[in-house]
Every structure is written in C-alpha cells, then in structure tokens.
Amino acid sequence: MTLLKILFLEDRPEDVELTLFELRLAGYNADWKRVDTQKDYVASLDPALDLILADYSLPQFTALNALHLLQERQLDIPFIVVTGSIEEAAIECMKQGASDYLLKDRLGRLGPAIESALQQKRLRAEKRQAEEALQRAHRNLAEAYEETLRGWSKAMDLHDHELEGHSERVTAMTLKLAAAMGMPEEQIKYIQRGALLHDIGKIAVPDAILQKPGPLSEEDWVIMRKHPLYALEMLAAISYLRPSLDIPYAHHERWDGSGYPRGLKGEEIPLAARIFAIIDVWDALLYARVYHPAWEIPKLKEYILSQSGRQFDPRVVEKFFELLNRGEFDRK
C-alpha cells in the first residue's frame, strides 16, 4: 500500500477515522495529523506533506481560508475539500485552486480524487523542472554569446595594438552614462553589446587604411566611412545582435547632421549612439595613437564642450561632465 503523509483539517475525530478507512480501501496508508485551529494548521504546513484533507466549515475558519494560507506560503500540496453539505462553497474552493472536493457521505470517490491530485502535482513538478532546465540553457547560451562578443572585441583591439583595452573601457563608461541618462534597464544589455562591437565593421576595412601612420586620403575616407554599413550587414542578420545595432551603425552621426553614414540630425540619432559618441571620442583622444599624441585632460574637456550642439547632443554632454566631475570616469 502507498504511504501518504496527510494533514487533516477536521474538528471531528470520528470523521477522520471514517476517511482513514476509505483510504485503506483505496490502497493508501496514512502518516497523519489532525488539526482544527488556524494556529495549529499554519504550524503544521510542511513541504513534505503529500495531501491536505480539509473540512469546509470549522468553528474558527473555513477550508477557503486554509487554502489561501497555503497559497500565500507557495507550497504545492494537493488540497481536497471534504464537506458535509455546503457543496457550493466547496466548488468555490476548487475555482480558487483546490484539487477537488468530496461530500462526506460519498467518500467512495476518495481514492480516484487523491490519485488525480497527486498526478497533477507530478505534472506541475515536471513542468517546473523543464522550465528551470530551459532557463539554465538560456542562461548558458547567453553567457556563451557574451563570451563570444568579448572575444570579438578583444580580437579587434589586438588587431590594432594602439586600441588595446579601448573597447572594454568605452563599454564600461558608456554603461555608466546610459544609466545616468535614465535609459531603461532592458536596453542596457543591448547598449553593452553594441559598445563592445562598435567598430566591428572595420574588419572589412583594409589594414593599409586602418594602420596608416599619417592622415587618411579622401579615397581612404570613402572606404573608412563605410564601416558602419559593414557593421549593419554583419549584425542585422543575427537576431541576438540586431537590437544592438544603434551604436555600431550610428555612432559616427553628428548632432548637426554632418556625420555618416546617413547624415542623421539631432534626436533622429538613436540615444545609445549619441551617448557612445562622446565616450568614444574622449577615449580616442585621451590615449596616444600613431597619428596623434595623448591629449591633456583640460584640452580634451574644452574640445568636448566646443562640440556640444555640433558633434554631440548638448544634454548628453551635460550629463557626461556631471559624471566626469564626480570622478566616475577616472582611470584606474
């Protein structure tokens, strides 16, 4: 016989004995306890319980109250209402989550009702396990994607030794500025990916141009200005990265409309790209390159301010300096 751990919510011991008899007829033995007050009921709730059999009407509270107390504790224990005559109230319990209800003078259905309730609990447990496994798989896949992105970013930086660490620095700064600008939390992950891959399109630009030790020619610039379009071609086909395109595709647009590749102006430029544009220029000028020495910070501040309303969104410039003056962007 199957052994069940049962909590009886019942004020009549003789009714419990009758129910135990029906349980044995149905093939069940019981490790049981009887309570008849709310205090004792709450104290007896235990995840190890297999079943709760609850009389609908008790002197102090009802089976519906007991069901709500069980649900508040988020315990998945089959709950069957046993009532003498108040069938409508028992049906209401089922509507609110009880497994089943039985009339005390018709306990012959007790065995099938328990079997059904236990089966439903098993199905719920299997569903939860499947959902948890799926969530773990999604997390593992997301982590693998993120590692791949960081690998791509590192490879791009190593391709040009002067850029080593650039992508990680600008990503960290961009996330701080985006949060300060009040960008929604759900967009932050897309900003992070876009910042890491902001220059992914340069993979398609010849090394002779990327690593040229002097100023680029007009012909060189025609090719260089295509790298946001190359980024679009590379990333748009990847559903995981498509929401992150704003920065790779638009970070060379300018507030006054003189940027590239589309000549967007003002708020036509995605906010993520407007935020990143300041960070990218700040980091690019703060560190020495083959074609320019590192700029001193006072000169760099003056330059960023001079480009407010021209290259950069004035509102973003204001917030950038607010964070800068608080030391948020200090080099570690």
Catalytic site includes residue 104: no
Concatenating the DSSP letter of every residue in 259-316 gives -SSS---GGGS-HHHHHHHHHHHHHHHHS-BTTBPPPPHHHHHHHHHHTBTTTB-HHH
Residue count of the chain: 332
Q: Choosing from 202, 212, 226, 299, which is the catalytic residue?
A: 202
Measured CA to CA, the distance from residue 49 to residue 54 in angstroms comes to 13
Single-letter amino acid, residue 316? V
In the sheet that holds 2-9, the strands lie side by side as 28-35, 2-9, 51-55, 79-83, 100-103
Could you tell me which of 108, 111, 107 has the C-alpha nearest to residue 83?
107
Contacts for 113-116: CB closer than 8 Å, 24+ residues apart:
113/80, 114/4, 114/23, 114/26, 114/28, 114/51, 114/78, 114/80
> Which run of H or E residues covers position 136?
helix 110-159
Measured CA to CA, the distance from residue 104 to residue 282 in angstroms comes to 79
Secondary structure letter of residue 73 according to DSSP:
T
Which residues are tagged catalytic?
202
